[in-house]
A and B are shown apart, each in its own frame.
Chain A
Amino acid sequence: MNIKRLLGPLVIVCTLALAGVAQPLLDTARAAGPEKPVTGNNSPLGVGHFDRNPADAEKGYGPVDQAAPMDFSTQNANVPKTYVPGKLYNVQVLKQYSYATLLNQMNYYTQSLGVQCTYCHNVANFAYDTPTKKISRTMQIMSNQVASGWIDPVKKDYPNYSVSGAVGCVTCHRGAPRMAVKWNIVPVAYLDYKAKTTKQAGYVVNSMYSASKSLGVNCLFCHNTADFVSLQYYPTNKIAHRMWAMVDKINHQYLPANVKAVTCYTCHQGAKWPQALVTAGLDQTPVEAHASHPAVHENPGAHLASGVAH
């Protein structure tokens, strides 16, 4: 046996073993340092992966600073300076709700986003408007529009391709104020027009790939590949067109300027139908039931709903 012949394979095996051993050590070393952002959007480098960052408290989008002095001069001019618990002030979107229903809705928000009341409210004066409170109004309008303007028509037109359950806050947020961002390759910007060159077609194909991974399907779910452009007869293709229009609308009309774009993944998160749906529109379950549910985190608004002054 010629030992020299083993040298080559031995070197290779040792290198691999070293890599396997060194990797965890380097990982711990790396964990200490700051995360370098990975490119993803529009990049020729392809797919970017972002992880959820629930602790991310960018300016204006984090919990409200409870110690900051309240300013009633400009936008909060119509808000009473003294908040009386049990009364409703400055309710703009949920105007028709009773007090109890409103608190249930607040409860639902906190659970869907995994936050406390302090994320949107200054708890000294619940009627006081904060940036996050204003965003939540936009979000509620958006949620209503999504349900009634896009999802319900799809369910009506394609009953075989629908499941029961409604889209709500939890569908996108899934217990975090900042949503999971994945498969966000070139979302909708390029779908406003038809690709004219092969280069532009490439961007569309990337979007299509991100859509297919977001739904956990392959191209054949919506397309007959004999002709992508002209053969658009599968119902899934029709539904997808509406979904793209919806995503486009959400991105352009409802989102704050510096929030990463909403894509198919935001709701679908790898499933053909989003797994996190609310049963019928607004969550009307009584507050007590929430409080007794062991899996739900402690209801932050319970003591307020009972009318006890804090």
Chain B
Amino acid sequence: MLEFEAVYRKPGNTLFRHLLGTDPFDWWAGRYYVGLWGVVSMLFTLIGVAVLFTAVGQYGDWDLWRANVHAPLREYGLGFSPFLDGGAWEVVVICATGAFVSWLLREVDICRKLEMGYHVPLMFGFAISAWVTLQIIRPLWMGCWCEGFDLSFTGHLTWVSNTGFRYQNFYLNPFHALGVTGFFLTAMVLAMHGSAILGTYNTSKNPVQEEANVDNFWRDYIGYSIGEYGIHWLGFWLAIFTLVVSDLCILTSGTIFYDWVEFWQFQHLPAFWLH
């Protein structure tokens, strides 16, 4: 345990206990908090990994990069498919989703224990939304599980490539463009924040001067200093924006729009300022 940890390790305050008055898993295993949701998450993980390894073993290729548990074939639509023709994929996706969601709920429990805001599980929820959108919502909307991506290292890259070209030029998807902008902006702002802290901690005996140095630099450099709280607010919301827009980019492809080059022809509508 860390030197200050003991005082924070208090039983109680979890969701389960709040609802049902008792929580049989409310304890720590070493440094890890267990909790009911930890057990559920572990179970999902073990089942999913077992199925994954079984499928990979039956396909025959154990190479870490090449191994491929592929999505169901189109002919099975939204139903269940035979194990090696996509059934394994379906089981692993269900287990993975279950594991992610219970991990999220475990984080909620820990937030409650530590009496902090729920920002972290909220953020994780948005991250899960990307997985769920890709593997569950979009296939449901498009009417077949085959639209999900293969569970494979290079296999899922091939899926990304093929899906992009399926809609002619995915770079012209405006949501994709916004998402890419979001990702790069996030990286840039992250570098700025990391540099700010790493560049100024322990540089001066005067803590007020240290903080002022940060503000004054940013005001000189770009005319605005967002503040210590503000930068974290910005990073938080930039990440959420990026994830939401990315979800939209894949959700609209193949459902509402089929050709992102064609999409931009709408600009040929009221162009009354031409000629």
Contact = CB atoms under 8 A, between A and B. Distances in A.
Direct touch of chains A and B (CB < 8 A) = yes
Interface of A: 19-20, 22-23, 26, 30, 33, 36, 47, 209, 212-213, 218-220, 223-226
Contact of B165 (A47, A213, A219): A219
Interface of B: 158, 161-162, 164-169, 258-259, 261-262, 270, 272, 275
Contacts of A225: 158, 161-162, 164-165
Given A20-B270, A23-B272, 20 more contacts: A22-B272, A23-B270, A30-B275, A36-B275, A209-B168, A209-B169, A212-B168, A213-B259, A213-B262, A218-B165, A218-B259, A219-B166, A220-B166, A223-B165, A224-B158, A225-B158, A225-B162, A225-B164, A225-B165, A226-B158
A224 B162 contact: yes
Nearest to B167: A218
Contacts of B164: 225
Contact of A218 (B158, B161, B166, B275): B166
A20 B272 CA distance: 10
Nearest to A218: B166
25 contacts: A19-B272, A22-B272, A23-B272, A33-B275, A36-B275, A47-B261, A209-B168, A209-B261, A212-B168, A213-B259, A213-B262, A218-B167, A218-B168, A218-B259, A219-B165, A219-B168, A220-B162, A220-B165, A220-B166, A223-B165, A224-B158, A224-B162, A225-B158, A225-B165, A226-B158
A7 to B, nearest CB: 23
A190 to B, nearest CB: 18
B11 to A, nearest CB: 51
Enumerate the 4 nearest inter-chain pairs by beta-carbon distance, A residue then B residue, closest first: A219-B165, A23-B270, A225-B165, A225-B161
A19 B270 contact: yes
A13 to B, nearest CB: 15
A132 B114 CA distance: 89
Nearest to B271: A23
B119 to A, nearest CB: 31
A31 to B, nearest CB: 11
Contacts of A30: 275
A226 B166 contact: no
B159 to A, nearest CB: 10
A225 B157 CA distance: 11
Contacts of B261: 47, 209
Contacts of A224: 158, 162
A226 B162 CA distance: 7
A155 to B, nearest CB: 28
A134 B275 CA distance: 39
B133 to A, nearest CB: 21
Nearest to A30: B275
Nearest to A219: B165
A223 B60 CA distance: 27
Contact of A226 (B161, B169, B259): B161
